[in-house]
Amino acid sequence: MALFSAFQTTFLLALLSLKTYQSEVLSEPLSLAPESLEVSIDSARQCLHLKWSVHNLAYHQELKMVFQIEISRIKTSNVIWVENYSTTVKRNQVLRWSWESKLPLECAKHSVRMRGAVDDAQVPELRFWSNWTSWEEVDVQSSLGHDPLFVFPKDKLVEEGSNVTICYVSRSHQNNISCYLEGVRMHGEQLDPNVCVFHLKNVPFIRETGTNIYCKADQGDVIKGIVLFVSKVFEEPKDFSCETRDLKTLNCTWAPGSDAGLLTQLSQSYTLFESFSGKKTLCKYKSWCNWQVSPDSQEMYNFTLTAENYLRKRSVHLLFNLTHRVHPMAPFNVFVKNVSATNATMTWKVHSIGNYSTLLCQIELYGEGKVIQKQNVSVKVNGKHLMKKLEPSTEYAAQVRCANANHFWKWSEWTRRNFTTAEAAPSEAPDVWRNVKSVQGHCVVTLFWKPLSKLQANGKILFYNVVLENLDRPSTLKLLSIPAPANGTELTLDRCSYQIHVTANNSVGTSPASVIAVSGDPGNKEVEEERVKGTEDGFCLSWKPQPGDVTGYVVEWCERPGDPLCDLQWKNLGPNTTSTVVSSDAFRPGVRYNFRIYGISTERIPYLLEKKTGYSQELVPSDNPQVLMSNLTSYSFTLSWKDYAAESQPGFVQGYSLYLKSKAARCLPGSEKAVLSDDSICCKYKIDNPKQKTFVVENLQPASFYEFFLTPYTSVGEGPQGAFTKVTTPDEYSHILIRIILPMIFSILLIMILCYLKSQWMKEKCYPDIPDPYKSSVLSLIKSKENPRLTIMNVKDCIPDAIEVINKQEGTRKSLTETEPTKPTYLYLLPTEKSHSGPGPCICFENFTYNQAASDSVSCGHVPVTPKAQPSQLGLLTSSENVPKALGKNYVNSLGEIPAGETNLNYVSQLASPMCGDKSSLPTNPPEPALCSEYKTQMAIPMGLASPPSITLLDEGEHDH
Amino acid sequence: MLALCDLGLVLGLLFLSTPAMGSCLDNYQELLGQLQKQADFMQHTSMLLDPYISIQGLDKDGLKEHCRERPGVFPSKDALQRLSRQEFLQILNTTLGHVLHRLRTLQKDIPKAQDLEKLNIAKLNIRGFKNNIHCMAQLLPGSLEKTEPTPTGPGASPSPTPISDAFQRRLEGCRFLHGYHRFMHSVGQVFREWGQSPSRSRRHSPRRGLRKGTHRTHLSSRNKRLMPRGWLPR
């Protein structure tokens, strides 16, 4: 009962309280109007910040309220913004609300008022608006200062593509203000007489330092402006991804967007938020962030990456299971073990990624840069893989990487190891061929072998063993070891038959033997050579199959045919092969290659089957033959070029072309008209037989001029253009003349020879030798008288008292050289006084000058020159006709004036043999020998020096030489 | 290529005289020639002004006309010519010190490294020039204590009145650089006059430096009058 009484009391009190409350609310309308409204501005952000409170709420009372806010511009009636702001209100709580103006706040006066209403379902009856607050005015212009012009907003930062409103505020009414954006005038709307507004739409990015917008007054130097910093669009992060390598740390990466492009980079922040755990971290770096995995085995992660700058915020999301994003660490402790010639084992370890995780590992084997084996292996901790079918003595590289086998995400990095397999014995016999020559009764065998390929050698070949087995004496073996890298050897054998075994050896073992036999009988029968035509692909050779047992065929050729080391090549072919294509990079156009095809008998003895020759590409002849012409007649001549080596030409010579030029308009039979490279026309003879080396050009015209030129031709064309040889056919009667003239010439020659043979006889008859004064009988006469005073005088001793000299006039001398040279002149020195102071009577021989030219002239006699009337001059007779006259006068007279007993002998010097016909011109009275005689030296004067107009008589001293 | 040539010329001019290395040329004519060449070189607007105008987008009609030197910021040519040699060197040294400081503030508005390099070369040039001024002052009788060689590091300098408006800031920077080049042109002419008057006229007579007592007072008042507006003499 007491309990019931207490409960009833409590209920009544509560009801009373409620009644009281209701009576208060209903009795007088609650004044839940916003109070203490304050408005502040943020010019940089162009924001109005409102701050108010509601005072009339009960203590601890919370009500949902809505506030209606009106913003007017310039005047209160011009309401530009109305917004209802709902929030929960407590008693005396300061409420805040912001509004961003499109128009810079400095451009116009703004006014703000508001009213409130309860918007709470608990008290639906209170849903009515309170009274408006009074207008709160925001007038920034009044605090701008006294500058004549302002432009707003200052240093605004926007994204490209944004719309921006700009205004200027002018203090002067008189000035016209014009505004420009980067030098381009803008047109705006007048907000009031002092304020003009410009609406810029979709502003572009111009430069890092911002866009210049400025306004100028017409008068004065007033300029004001702003810099509008236009940034590039802030992009969201790309390729956002998270992964773990050890299940302890998550590494999240992304590609940040492009830079804002501004000089002052907008600070960007990157935040990582995980929604399941509610954790958040601010990333230090702009492209990656680490996240510690929670130890409570959280599997699912839902990340939000938020990139933010001053202007924009962008987010990307990522939801994943941790075990699906495992990127294993690279395998470690990787080794290649048990490396043999063909096998190797690779072992490695992996980092564990959980107790139950299995890793899938991939092994790749590289040989010569290529993947040759690829294998996948499941691994818990330790991995092992056997690599088979390896090549001996080969370098390999093995690498391994791993990934989560259950949920593949990414492979780990490769871990790589290199190794080389061991060597093995060579697997193939060397390819051997031989060249056999017979030298001085011995058989000189040159063995060639090709080096084994890497796959065949299985290691480094150290040496080759050559075993010579004498087939006639099977017990006789000879072993030669030839160190590598030799590729052949020369053996001198006797006439016996040999079988030669060649093996290649490396450090492990020996290759199979290559066997070739040398027969005592060379057996090289004469085989006719055939021509083959080469192509770009090589020479296609074929041969007749051989009856009987043939173990194979060998084709042999020289790659450098002109070289003494001809670089012998060969090609082994099977017994069923009868054709092959021989190709080589060494084949050159214009070179003749000779191929020999051998059959290999069962005894391994090669025997020559066929010979082929050909060019890989024929060329035109490189030179023309030297052509000799013979048998020239009035109607024909013969050409021959037997020395021409057609085999050395860079193609098979198929014949010759003879070009003949003549004045005749028509070509002779057997020839045809041809046009030469110089557009001249001639006749062409074609000689189809390459072996023909002579040609007779017939049907020519006598006494005609011809030109000919001969050139060989191959299948490609003719030889080089050369010079034409000229020939003129003789006249038809010239041979008759020759029959007459030749005997005449012969007869004349015969007579001349006879004359020459009889010349001694003629000389004796025509001009006998001049006696030597020293051998003269006069000397013997003197000696016989034994007169010591009588001796041969020296020049010094012989002082002529007077000399009669014949003066030679210049004109006279000139006439000598110009007139007939066959008339020689002679000079005589004649004494003119009888008395002299000499030692006694003597004979003087004196010739003052001698004209060499005159002596060389065809003169066969000497003409004495008679002294003339003028004694101091020498004179020359210009004609033999004068000789008798001279002799008739002075010469004879002089002789007559010489007194007896004092007779001086005047000797005439002999210059040349007189002509037979001039014999009569000799002096009729030859001088007689005297007691004293002297012969003075003759002085030769060259023609050039023999030109003085007069010859002065030399004195005594000048005569002495 | 042009930049390289400029750099080579600058370095050549700087290191022909070696005050930066701690010693001065003691040949008056040679040093004067160096100062003339350096002033002539530094007056070229291609060194600073032209790139600045281009970078800041001031190369527009109607805008670049306002990029003119404000009177009073730099001493006029007449004012420089009226100074004695010692006074001239002191004013020059002080003014260039302020220029260096202002260039450091302008550096923030230059985005490209290539243009920054140009600015750094200009600063290096000014430092070398100041060192040569110091050397010249020592050659003159009654050398001035205030023309001390430029320290290699950034020196403390009064900061100009901060301008919050970016547009006005870049316009002022442009005007400042215009004035700087004009000033260096005037300096070059004054140095040239020095070379043309070897008798050292009364106006630029170094002997006036000897009369320290009376001159110092007079110089002080004159320097104050010539100080750039907004800057305080050291």
- Residue B71 sits at the chain A interface (C-beta within 8 Å): no
AA letter at A896: G
pLDDT band at A265 (very low <50, low <70, confident <90, very high): low
Q: Average pLDDT, stretch A85-102? A: 90
Give me the residues of B, 127-186, that contact A with CB < 8 A: 164-168, 170-171
What pLDDT, on the 0 to 100 scale, is given for residue A830? 41
Q: Under DSSP, is residue A753 helix (H, G, I), strand (E, B) or coil?
A: helix
pLDDT(B50) > 50: yes
What pLDDT, on the 0 to 100 scale, is given for residue B148? 54
Dihedral angle of Cα A949, A954, A959, A961, to the nearest 10 degrees: -60
pLDDT(B221) > 50: no
Say whether A263 and B66 touch across the interface (CB within 8 A).
no
Q: Average pLDDT, stretch A260-266? A: 68
Q: Give how far B66 is from chain A: nearest CA, Å.
A: 8
**Per the structure block, which two tokens stand in for A118?**
């309860």
**Per the structure block, which two tokens stand in for A220?**
């004065």
pLDDT(A828) > 60: no
Within A283-394, strands assigned E span 288-292, 300-308, 313-321, 332-337, 344-349, 359-367, 370-379, 382-387
Quick: pLDDT tens for A554-584.
999 998 887 877 888 999 999 888 999 998 8
pLDDT(B22) > 70: no
- pLDDT cut 90: percent of chain A above it: 40
**Cα torsion B106, B110, B116, B119: sign:** negative
pLDDT(B154) > 60: no
Contact between residue A430 and residue A464 where contact means Cβ atoms under 8 Å apart: yes
Q: Under DSSP, is residue A37 helix (H, G, I), strand (E, B) or coil?
A: strand
- Distance, in Å, from the CA atom of B141 to the CA atom of A224, rounded to the nearest integer, reads 49
- Distance, in Å, from the CA atom of A104 to the CA atom of A45, rounded to the nearest integer, reads 9
Among the partner-chain residues A209, A214, A224, the one whose CB lies closest to the CB of B56 is A209
Residue A761 dihedral angles phi and psi, to the nearest 5°: -65, -40
pLDDT(B227) > 60: no
How would you list the strands of the sheet with A442-450, edge to edge?
A431-439, A442-450, A488-493
pLDDT band at A778 (very low <50, low <70, confident <90, very high): low
**Per the structure block, which two tokens stand in for A510?**
């020996």
**What distances in angstroms separate CA A335 from CA A378, A390, B171, one per listed residue?**
18, 17, 71
Q: Which residue has the higher pLDDT, A526 or A52?
A: A52
Q: Rounded mean pLDDT of chain A?
A: 78
- Which chain B residue lies closest to A179 (C-alpha atoms)? B62
Cβ contacts of B40 within 8 Å, gap of 6 or more: B188
Nearest partner of A873 among A863, A882, A881, A865, judged by Cα: A865
- Beta-carbon contacts below 8 Å between A and B: 59
- Residue A216 sits at the chain B interface (C-beta within 8 Å): yes
Contact between residue A820 and residue A881 where contact means Cβ atoms under 8 Å apart: no
Say whether A227 and B58 touch across the interface (CB within 8 A).
no
Contact between residue B81 and residue A236 where contact means Cβ atoms under 8 Å apart: no
Q: Give how far B56 is from chain A: nearest CA, Å.
A: 6
Within A451-567, strands assigned E span 463-470, 477-483, 488-493, 498-505, 514-518, 529-535, 538-542, 550-558
Nearest partner of A798 among A619, A665, A960, judged by Cα: A960
pLDDT(A178) > 80: yes
Residue A79 dihedral angles phi and psi, to the nearest 5°: -80, 125
pLDDT band at A923 (very low <50, low <70, confident <90, very high): very low
**How many residues does this entry show for chain A?**
961
Nearest partner of A714 among A839, A823, A619, A575, judged by Cα: A619
Say whether A210 and B57 touch across the interface (CB within 8 A).
yes
Q: Which of A38-42, A494-498, A764-768, A881-885 has the lowest mean pLDDT?
A: A881-885
Q: Which residue has the higher pLDDT, A830 or A85?
A: A85
pLDDT(A888) > 60: no
Supply the pTM of this predicted model.
0.53
What pLDDT, on the 0 to 100 scale, is given for residue A776? 65
Contact between residue A82 and residue A56 where contact means Cβ atoms under 8 Å apart: no
Contacts of A152 in chain B (CB under 8 A): none
What pLDDT, on the 0 to 100 scale, is given for residue A165? 94
**Cα torsion A936, A941, A947, A948: sign:** negative
How would you list the strands of the sheet with A300-308, edge to edge?
A279-282, A269-274, A300-308, A313-321
Quick: pLDDT tens for A649-662.
999 999 999 999 88
Q: Average pLDDT, stretch A414-420? A: 96
Contacts of A155 in chain B (CB under 8 A): 164-166
pLDDT band at A298 (very low <50, low <70, confident <90, very high): confident
Q: Under DSSP, is residue A916 helix (H, G, I), strand (E, B) or coil?
A: helix
- Distance, in Å, from the CA atom of B83 to the CA atom of A219, rounded to the nearest integer, reads 38
**Per the structure block, which two tokens stand in for A376?**
């996948």
Q: What is the ipTM of this complex?
A: 0.75
**Per the structure block, which two tokens stand in for A62?**
């919370």
- Residue B55 sits at the chain A interface (C-beta within 8 Å): yes
Q: Which residue has the higher pLDDT, A681 or A893?
A: A681
Q: Average pLDDT, stretch B202-217? A: 37
Q: Which of A64-68, A254-258, A902-906 has the lowest mean pLDDT?
A: A902-906
Give me the residues of A, 558-617, that contact B with CB < 8 A: none
Contacts of A104 in chain B (CB under 8 A): none
Q: Average pLDDT, stretch A202-230? A: 90
What pLDDT, on the 0 to 100 scale, is given for residue A613? 93
Quick: pLDDT tens for A708-738.
999 999 998 999 988 899 999 888 776 677 7
Q: Which of A133-142, A489-498, A895-904, B96-105 has the lowest mean pLDDT?
A: A895-904
**How many residues does this entry show for chain B?**
234
pLDDT(A674) > 50: yes
What pLDDT, on the 0 to 100 scale, is given for residue B163? 66
What pLDDT, on the 0 to 100 scale, is given for residue B182? 95
Among the partner-chain residues B56, B63, B171, the one whose CB lies closest to the CB of A183 is B63
Say whether A154 and B166 touch across the interface (CB within 8 A).
yes
Q: Which of A103-107, A284-288, B9-13, B167-171 has the lowest mean pLDDT?
A: B9-13
Return the exposure string of A919-945: e unless at least 16 CB atoms fall within 10 Å of the residue's CB, then b: eebbbeeebebbbbbbbbeeeebeeee
Say whether B60 and A208 touch across the interface (CB within 8 A).
no
N-term to C-term CA, chain B? 40
Q: Which of A104-108, A297-301, B188-192, B202-206 has the lowest mean pLDDT?
A: B202-206
Among the partner-chain residues A154, A209, A221, the one whose CB lies closest to the CB of B111 is A209
Among the partner-chain residues A155, A208, A212, the one whose CB lies closest to the CB of B63 is A212
pLDDT(B179) > 60: yes
What pLDDT, on the 0 to 100 scale, is given for residue B187? 95
pLDDT(A822) > 70: no
Task: Name the DSSP letter for residue A718.
Answer: B
H or E element that contains A808: none
Phi-psi region for residue B117, left (φ > 0), alpha (ψ -120 to 50) or beta? alpha
Quick: pLDDT tens for B62-120.
888 899 998 889 999 999 999 999 999 999 999 999 999 999 888 877 777 677 888 88
pLDDT(A896) > 80: no
Contacts of B53 in chain A (CB under 8 A): none
Say whether A183 and B62 touch across the interface (CB within 8 A).
yes
Contact between residue A239 and residue A254 where contact means Cβ atoms under 8 Å apart: yes
pLDDT band at A250 (very low <50, low <70, confident <90, very high): very high
- Residue B116 sits at the chain A interface (C-beta within 8 Å): no
Secondary structure of A842-865 in the HEC alphabet? CCEECCCCEEHHHHHCCCCCCCCC
Say whether B57 and A263 touch across the interface (CB within 8 A).
no
